[in-house]
Amino acid sequence: MVSVGALRAFHPDSGNNSPRLSEEHVYPRKVAARQLLEDLSLTNETMTSLFQERYGRVHLITSEENKAVQRHQRVGVFTTPEGAYELAGIVFVELSLDELRMVKKRHRETIENRLSLEEFNAKRAATDA
């Protein structure tokens, strides 16, 4: 998943000459560590499964978005990844690996297609609500 903000930063007309992506853990590492250490029934198999399905996953965001979401990911306040991203105002789109490569190359058509699709989905969700 890549944030809409990151897509916009990579758009050739963004004014950002050297955009960068930050790998942001879906589950904050301190939260993940605490949950794992509290699980007394943890086995190698469940640890592997939890890492692959939950704790090892990352999203790609801008460094500014990373700073914005951090305050919602602290051990005492974190509830869910979705809640933290919503509070930080971060919206994601799903990209294939090929699309991600094109975004990193700042391919205008790929970026505009994904942004247009996201805008369409947001409008449809607003009218459905």
Q: Which band of pLDDT confidence, cut at 50, 70 and 90, is reported for residue 76?
A: confident
Give me the residue label for tokens 């205008």: 108
Residue 127: exposed, middle, or buried by beta-carbon count in 10 A (0-12, 13-18, 19+)?
exposed
- For the ranges 5-14, 26-35, 65-74, the lowest mean pLDDT is seen at 26-35
Q: Could you tell me how far CA 22 lies from the centroid of its own chain? A: 9
Number of domains the chain is built from = 1
**Average pLDDT for 13-18:** 94
Q: Please state the pTM of the whole predicted model.
A: 0.83
Q: What is the pLDDT of residue 39?
A: 85
Residue-wise pLDDT for 78-116, tens only, equals 999 999 999 999 999 999 999 999 999 999 999 999 998
Q: What CA–CA distance (Å, rounded) separates 36 from 12? A: 42
pLDDT digits (tens, 9 = 90+) for 16-66: 999 999 999 999 988 888 888 888 888 989 989 998 999 999 999 999 999
What was the pLDDT predicted at 40?
83
Please report the beta strands in 36-128, taking only residues with DSSP state E, as ranges in sequence order.
58-61, 92-93
- What is the extent of the structural domain holding 31? 2-128
Instruction: Tell me if 5 sits within 8 A of 68, measured CB to CB.
Output: no
pLDDT reported for residue 42 = 87
Q: How confident is the model at residue 15 (pLDDT cuts 50, 70, 90)?
A: very high
Residue 3, pLDDT above cutoff 80: yes
